[in-house]
Amino acid sequence: MVRPDLDAAYLGTQGDIWDAQKDMAAAFVGAMLTAIVLIFASKQSTSRA
């Protein structure tokens, strides 16, 4: 890297070094909640049929 002082600006972390990890954790939690909702919705739709 030519200018090491610009690494945070390039990544766009806005001063939070854990920004990417927080984003990935939020995406994981959202995916798990969606999976749980879809499982329950699927079970209810098959029990009605």
Q: Are 15 and 8 in contact (CB under 8 A)?
A: yes
Residue 24 is predicted with a pLDDT of 97
| Structure token digits, residue 35 | 């999976």
Sign of CA dihedral 7, 12, 16, 21: negative
- Higher-confidence residue of 41 and 47: namely 41
Count the alpha carbons within 13 Å of 48 in the hemisphere toward its beta carbon. 6
pLDDT on residue 2: 79
Range of the domain at 35: 4-48
Report the domain count for the chain: 1
1-41 confidence digits (pLDDT tens): 578 788 777 777 777 889 889 999 999 999 999 999 999 99
pTM of the entire predicted model: 0.69
